[in-house]
Amino acid sequence: MRRRTVIGAAVAVVVAGGTGTAAVLLRSGDAPAATPPPPGATATVERETLSGSVTVDGQLGYGEAVPITSKAPGTVTWLPKPGATVERGGQVLRADDRPVVLLYGVLPVYRELRPGAEGPDVALLERNLRDLGYGGFTVDDEYTAMTARAVRRWQKDLGRDENGVVDPSWVVVANGPIRVATLPVRLGAPATGEVLTYTGAETVVTVDVEADKAGWVQAGVKVTVTLPNGKKTAGTVAAIGAKAEPEDPGAEPTVPVTVALADPGRAGRLREGPVTVTYVSEQRKNVLTVPVAALVALAQGGYGVEVVEDGTRRSVRVELGLFADGKVEVRGDGLAEGMTVGMPA
């Protein structure tokens, strides 16, 4: 992964002969130096939140493919096509010409569910039944006779035996709609085992972040994504890989990060391609800032700004903080918001 730093990495000082002042240029990657301001130009000391950002490369796609394992006995008689989307209640495959269907949730259905059963897997089933339009029961963690009645109606619509019992062999669970990625089996193969791999149905961005630079990566962190068509959209860190591995032998280990897009539609018809992801690396709130070009090097060392008052200029020593977006955080005795400072040419 190529990592591009867009905050200032260094400051170059060019001293004007005999004057004791200098123009200060912020370097930003390989970007050319900014055009010097015209003679006599000034700027205003502002109080604001200053944010430094870092841009990394990513990939637009559907994320990492994961397998679905079927517990259905018999023979595979139907499979969806790669790229197809399967939603709640839809068929993931058919085994012996009977449907194996998708439910939404996290906990897999690991046992037969019948009247008298209690637990979170019952609650998962009842939530799915309700959202599929089968009612007449209370959504809780108890499998009652009313739950069984709703299950029988569901089984009738699926063409399965109407016994009111949900067997784990004919349901699979994912956390939302799935998009079929690959089909490792063909028609006629045994229906038990890994029958397909899938991704989420929505496009996402994946970023391989160097493990030693992944301190910013936390679920919920906001980022800005520049899409292959040049448009920008907000994004949120949705998932973080638990294992750091090098992309290539001898390379630095990286952590896979998934970013959910606030508006995937901004990508237009594009569903795959290179993107960049920009995140806030540092932030300073309620600080005084001046343009970087307003800094001058002092003869006695350090940096200052030239405060312009009543047509005269006086030098004020400043301490430098965060550099970002062509500005720099400054602190100095007598420096206040709204003051005018000179911009050395």
Residues 253 and 316 in one domain: no
pLDDT for the residue 241 = 85
Residues 88 and 159 in one domain: yes
Alpha helix positions (H), the chain: 120-131, 145-158
pLDDT for the residue 182 = 96
Residues 46 and 121 in one domain: no
- The tally of domains found in the chain comes to 3
Q: Taking the CB of residue 120, how many other CB atoms lie within 10 A of it?
A: 11
Residues 315 and 263 in one domain: no
**268 — alpha (psi -120 to 50), left (phi > 0) or beta?**
left
Long-range contacts of 127-136 (CB under 8 A, 24+ apart): 128/88, 128/89, 128/103, 128/104, 129/154, 131/88, 131/104, 132/88, 132/89
Residues 71 and 182 in one domain: yes
Residues 161 and 78 in one domain: yes
**Do 187 and 78 meet the contact criterion of CB atoms below 8 Å apart?**
yes
Residue whose entry in the numeric block shows the structure tokens 């690991």: 110
**CATH number where 263 lies:** 2.40.30.170
Query: Of 200, 215, 238, which residue constitutes the final position of a domain?
Result: 200
Structural domain boundaries enclosing 276:
56-62+203-282
Residues 302 and 258 in one domain: no
pLDDT for the residue 251 = 79
Residues 177 and 82 in one domain: yes
Residues 75 and 165 in one domain: yes
Q: What is the mean pLDDT of each run of 10 residues along the chain (345 residues)?
A: 39 35 36 51 94 91 92 97 96 97 96 97 98 97 98 97 97 96 96 95 92 87 94 93 78 90 89 92 92 93 93 92 93 94 86
Torsion of CA 37, 38, 44, 45, to 10 degrees: 40
pTM score over 0.85: no
Find residue 320's DSSP bridge partners. 330
Query: Of 200, 217, 242, which residue constitutes the final position of a domain?
Result: 200
**CATH number where 316 lies:** 2.40.420.20
Residues 309 and 185 in one domain: no
Residue whose entry in the numeric block shows the structure tokens 């961005």: 205
